[in-house]
Structure 1
Amino acid sequence: MDEQQLVIQIQKSPPQSEEHQKAIFTLADKILCSCGLFRLSHNKSLYGVYLDIHQALQQQLYRDIAQNIDEYQLKNITVAVWINEVRSRTLKKVINEAYLQQLALELQKYYPPTEEWQYSFQILTNAILLSDKLLHKVNIYHDVYEEAKNELWIWLYQNINTYNPSKGKFTAWLNFRFDMILRDSQTTKNDPFIQKLNGKIIRTKYQLTNIIKSITQEDLILCLNLQIKQVLHYILSVQILSILTVKYLLSQLIIKKPLVADSLLFEIAKQSLPNATKLANIDDEIENIPQPELEQPLSEQLREYLENDPNNLLQKHIRAHPEATFQVIALKRLEGISWKELSETFNIQIPALSNFFQRHLQKIAPEIKRYIQE
């Protein structure tokens, strides 16, 4: 029974009947399966936090379906659209900060590339996306955002074991890094040199597309029927035949699988430009150049100073709040924790927190600068 039939059955059956309850449970399971959160589970039994999330999603879906079964008619939308809305708001409501943090800590129990680690990593990344708690920024190109997400997953793969829950929330830690990646990606996208190079590649790709589309099956047949009398003519004919064959096959690919053809032609255009390979892999080229040891990033140097407090200057605290030291506040701000969250954590008004932080920062700024320079 599909979703449309289940919705009709729920609407028609008495609310307290077994048929009504069973149809709701069945629809909830179908919606939960379609979200793909536990897509690697197959027949594997869920346990721990995975089972907790699965059950919480089931219960929330059951309540949402029972309470809003007539919503699609009131909104004048299709059942499919309504189901997507139900799925989306349930995932956002259930997969909260606490669950994401538990998933991150569960992943830290395993080591790559074991099956358990891959399973946990897949669930964590799926949950992050479905929770809609990943940082969103206006004026970011869609392709830039998607590429930045891929870079974030690579970074998370390599650095998940560095997350420390005692220093802040998981989403704050993750989004702090994602924000840095987005800034770098946007800067690269807006670089005049990169824009000029991309413009040349795109123009070349369109030129190739127009040439390929002009090749017909008749041209290929004509070439096959050429009378070959001399070796030179034979070699030339084979070359022409090869070129025409490739062009014809590409023209068919454009018709049957335009997205695949578009991607392939873009790569051909990129490689056709002078030094395109070196430009396309500029990061790899830079990494292969012998160079002195890279300096530690400024943010990491600052974190090192704040954590170590080499001159014991960071332990000053807000009056009557010994736990709210400058060191603790500064580290949390570095991790992307907002003033509002800090205010709730320490039960201190935002102005008091901010003023204390700014005053003490002015006093120790020269010492921080000296430490980093040395």
Structure 2
Amino acid sequence: MDEKLLQLIIQVQTSPPIGDERQQAIVTLSDYLLRSSNLFRHQRHQLLCGVYLDIYQALQLELKQEIVQSLDGGKCTQLNVTVWIKEVRSRTFSKVLNEACLQQLALVVAQYRPQTSQWQLGFQVLINAIILSDKLLHKAHIYDDIYEDAKNELWIWLYRHINTYNPCKGRFIPWLNFRFDMILRNYQMRKSDPLIQKFNAKIIRRKYQLTNFIQSINQREMIFWLRLNAKSLIADLVTFKIIALFIFIFFIAQLIRQKSLYINSFLFEIAQQSLPTIPKLSPAGEELENIPQPESEPILSEQLREYLQTSPNQLLQKYIRGHPEVTFQVIALNRLDGKSWKEISETFKIGIPALSNFFQRNLEKIAPEIKKYIQA
């Protein structure tokens, strides 16, 4: 337990119930709790402004109310202080970091050019806010390791696509959770494949070997050695590369100690690339146009259309509940004709999410048959 934090809590508890002294103690405690949270971790020594200041003030106000209610209700004395802080923070973040707030943060990131300092700062705040808000999709019967791996992949996807988010097409959290749902399905599919399981086990072992190797290096000794030998070694190209490698390892070790958001994914990727072959599954929700075909085949769209129109496969006649006229076959042919989801939605008076989810679910089932037909 942080001694300063404990002192602040005691100060609030021992202050007179009415008066400026207690109010100031509550403000100081709430400010300390917010400043020490992950949300503003990268801005502890910076002045908050704009959206970040608005969110901070809203969090501070809500947190003060939570602190007062908890202390007056005696919850802090009944619970372990660490547990109490966690509960107070959790309730506060869940209330303030709602969908509208997260969308606002996403739009702030999207207004900057990717990779700029403002963009990176905003992106980190956005990720932390999403995690703290507890608005990310949760699914029953998902193993923790699968969920965490899928979440890491989601952050990488968001890192690459945040600037493509268009608020006119939908809210941010449903947009994000739709992608997360696809990633989770893909991970579940991989988990059930014996070959993938075998390779994943190798990757995980390799990743832990890398982590242990990096952590086992005595950084102080390495820095001391580099300082002593830097001048004499730089002239040699080979040893210069060794120095560069040492610096890289030192940097990775620092990230591991800081528990950086991206380090697990980075080490996982290194481990994956170090293996000779990695089997790849087609991502869940792959569009019809992306189904593999031999290069010698003439026109994929003609083959797809022929299959959709002539195949006796019963899956083609699956329809959306309450809309027997809207079958998988009908949707697929519309997509093949180049119609957008919006156009199809307007034609059949069905929401885009319902159409897309139905299409993606059934496409996963029928894609192998289409592939066989095309490659026959």
Which TM bucket (shorter chain)? 0.5 to 0.7
Alignment-derived partner of residue 20 in structure 1? 22
Match for 2:354: what amino acid? Answer: R
Match of residue 168 from structure 2: 166
Determine helix, strand or coil for the equivalent of 1:279: coil
**Contact 1:145-1:182 at 8 Å conserved across structures:** yes
Task: Please give the per-residue CA displacement for 1:26-79, whole angstroms capped at 9, x wherever unaligned.
Answer: 110111122220222243322221111100000001111112214455772112
Counterpart in 2 of 1:278?
276
Deviations 1:243-298 (A, max 9, x none): xxxxxxxxxxxxxx9xxxxx9xx99xx99xxx982234768xxxxx99859x89x9
Q: Which deviates more, 99-108 or 152-161? A: 152-161
CA contact (8 A) 1:168 1:335 kept: no
3-state SS of the aligned residue for 2:153?
A: helix
> Could you tell me which residue of structure 2 aligns to residue 52 of structure 1?
54
Classify 1:199/1:168 alpha carbon distance in 2 versus 1 (closer, same or farther; 3 Å).
closer
1:125, 1:153 → 2: CA distance? 8
Report if the CA contact (8 A) 2:203-2:275 is conserved.
Answer: no
Q: Which residue of 1 aligns with 2:137?
A: 135
Where in structure 1 are there 5+ consecutive unaligned residues?
209-256, 258-262, 284-288, 317-324, 337-372
Return the match for 2:82 from 70, 80, 83.
80
Q: TM (normalized to structure 2)?
A: 0.58
Secondary structure, counterpart of 1:68 in structure 2:
helix
Q: TM-score, normalised by structure 1?
A: 0.58
How much has 1:128 moved relative to structure 2?
0.6
Give the 3 Å change call, closer, same or farther, for CA 301–107 of structure 1 in structure 2: farther
The DSSP-based 3-state class of the residue aligned with 1:40 is helix
The percentage of aligned residue pairs carrying the same residue is 50
Partner of 2:188: 186
1:171, CA displacement in angstroms? 0.6
Native 8 Å contact 1:57 1:91 kept in 2: yes
State the secondary structure of the residue aligned to 2:135: coil
Q: Which residue identity does 2:276 align to in structure 1?
A: K
| Structure of higher CA gyration radius | 1
1:213-251 per-residue CA deviation (whole Å, 9 max, x = no partner) reads xxxxxxxxxxxxxxxxxxxxxxxxxxxxxxxxxxxxxxx
Aligned equivalent of 2:352 = 331
Q: C-alpha separation between the residues in 2 aligned to 1:40 and 1:198?
A: 33
Q: Distance in 1 between matches of 2:206 and 2:165?
A: 45
Q: Who is 1:113 aligned against?
A: 115
Matched, 1:306 2:327: no
User: Compared with structure 1, are the counterparts of its residues 175 and 24 closer, same or farther at alpha carbon in structure 2 (3 Å cutoff)?
Assistant: same
What do you get for the CA RMSD once the two structures are aligned? 4.1
SS at match of 2:104: helix
Q: Letter of the 1:143 partner, please give it.
A: D
For residues 336 and 87 of structure 2, the distance between their equivalents in structure 1, rounded to whole angstroms, comes to 44
1:326-367 CA distance string (max 9 Å, x none): 2xx43253577xxxxxxxxxxxxxxxxxxxxxxxxxxxxxxx
Equivalents in 1 of 2:108, 2:203: separation in Å?
Answer: 45
- Is the CA contact 1:9–1:23 (under 8 Å) kept in the aligned structure 2? yes
The partner residue of 2:159 within 157, 160, 171 is 157
**Cα distance change, pair 177–200 in 1 and its aligned pair in 2 (3 A):** closer
Alignment of 1:55-74 (within 5 A): 55-71=57-73, 73=75
Deviates more, 1:6-15 or 1:115-124: 6-15
Contact 1:306 1:331 in 2 (8 A): no
> In the TM superposition, what whole-angstrom CA distance separates every residue of 1:131-183 from its partner, at most 9, and x where no partner exists?
00000112112111111111111111121122221222111000000000000
Alpha carbons of structure 1 residues 72 and 291: separation in structure 2 relative to 1, 3 Å: farther
Contact 2:62 2:92 in 1 (8 A): yes
Distance 1:7 1:115 in 2: 36
Query: What amino acid maps onto 2:351 in structure 1?
Result: A
2:13 to 11, 34, 50: 11
Checking the alignment, whether the CA contact within 8 Å between 2:8 and 2:29 is kept in structure 1 is: yes
Q: CA, structure 1 residues 110+335, in 2 after alignment: closer, same or farther (shift >3 Å)? A: farther
